[in-house]
Amino acid sequence: MKTINVEAKPYEYQFKTDETALVIIDMQRDFCAAGGFGEKLGNDISPTREIIKPLQKVLAAARDNEMLVIHTREGHRPDLSDCPPSKLKRSRRQGAGIGDEGPMGRILIRGEYGHDIVDELQPAEGEPVIDKPGKGAFYKTDLGLILQNKAIKNLIVAGVTTHVCVQTTIREANDRGYDCLLLEDCSAAFDPQDHEDSIRMIHQQGAIFGWTTESQNLLAAINEEVK
C-alpha cells in the first residue's frame, strides 16, 4: 500500500490506508439533533449539525478505500452503575441530568434513541461501535485491542466535541503511540472558540498531540493516490 501525503498543520501528514482507522467520535442524537442533551443544556447545536455533510464524504472515501471505520458513543448503563457520582452530580446541576427523561428517551443512556448515532452517519455492517463511559475513547473500552489486532498505526479523528471527547481521545492515542490527524471541518464544539483553541493545542510545538487539516485536503490526497 502506497503512502498518502496530506497537506496539514504543522507539516505534511503521512499514512497508509491499511494501517489507518477513521474514528468518528460521538455523533449522537443527544449532541447533534434538535431536542437532544446538548440543545437542552442551552447550546447552539448548529456547529455539530454543520459537520455532518463533510463527514459523510470522508466516511464514504474511507469505506471506498477499505479503511477501518470506528464509531464511538458516550453513554451509560441504564442503572448508571458505570457513571461516577461526580459526573452524575455535575450533569444534574446543569438542568438535564444523565439518566433523566428527555425528548429522545433517557439522556445518555445506552439503548435510548438519543444515545444512538445520527441517521446520516449510521455505522455500516461490521464497523465497530465503541460504547464509552468517559470522555476518551480508550477509557474502559476495547478500542486499544481492536486497533492492535488490526495493526493500526494512524488515526484520522472527527466528531464532537472538539475540546472534550475528541481532544481527550487524541491525547490518549498520542500516549499510546498513534499518529493522529484531526479533521477541522469534521469536528465541532458548541462554542467556536473552544473548537479553534483545541485545533491549536493539537498541532502546536511540532504536532505535540497530532496534526490538523481540512477534509478537502484529505480527500484530494486520497483521490490523487488512487488515480
Single out the residue of 148, 149, 130 nearest to residue 140, CA to CA: 130
- DSSP for 15-61 reads E-GGGEEEEEE--BHHHHSTTSHHHHTT---HHHHHTHHHHHHHHHH
**Mean pLDDT in residue range 171-175:** 98
Separation between Cα atoms, residue 227 and residue 225, nearest integer Å: 6
- Say whether 132 is catalytic: yes
- The share of the chain scoring above pLDDT 70, in percent, equals 98
The structural domain count of the chain equals 1
**pLDDT at 226 > cutoff 70:** no
Q: What is the pLDDT of residues 92-140, one digit of tens each?
A: 877 778 999 988 999 999 999 999 999 999 999 999 999 999 999 999 9
pLDDT at 122: 98
Among 118, 170, 154, 111, residue whose Cα is nearest residue 5: 154
165 tagged catalytic: yes
Region 166-194 average pLDDT:
98
The residue annotated as part of the active site, out of 32, 83, 165, 180, is: 165
- Tell me the average pLDDT across 62-67: 96
Could you confirm whether 16 is annotated as catalytic? no
Provide the pLDDT confidence category of residue 39 given band limits of 50, 70 and 90.
confident
Range of the structural domain that residue 98 is part of:
4-226
Catalytic residue among 9, 26, 30, 180: 26
For the ranges 94-98, 118-122, 151-155, 176-180, the lowest mean pLDDT is seen at 94-98
Is the pLDDT score of 85 beyond 90? Answer: yes
Q: What is the pLDDT of residue 109?
A: 97
> Distance of CA 116 to CAs 4, 29, 33, 106, 223, Å?
32, 6, 11, 12, 31
Helix (H) or strand (E) holding 158: strand 154-160
Arithmetic mean of pLDDT, 146-155 = 98
Task: Please pick, among 9, 32, 83, 132, the residue that the annotation labels catalytic.
Answer: 132
What gap in Å lies between CA 42 and CA 29, rounded to an integer?
Answer: 15
Is 70 exceeded by the pLDDT of residue 227? no
CA distance 112 to 64: 31
Residue in the block written with cell 460504547 = 131
Using DSSP's 3-state secondary structure scheme, residue 103 falls into: strand
Q: 181, 212 in Cβ contact below 8 A?
A: yes
Is residue 225 over pLDDT 70? Answer: no
CATH code of the domain in which 84 resides: 3.40.50.850
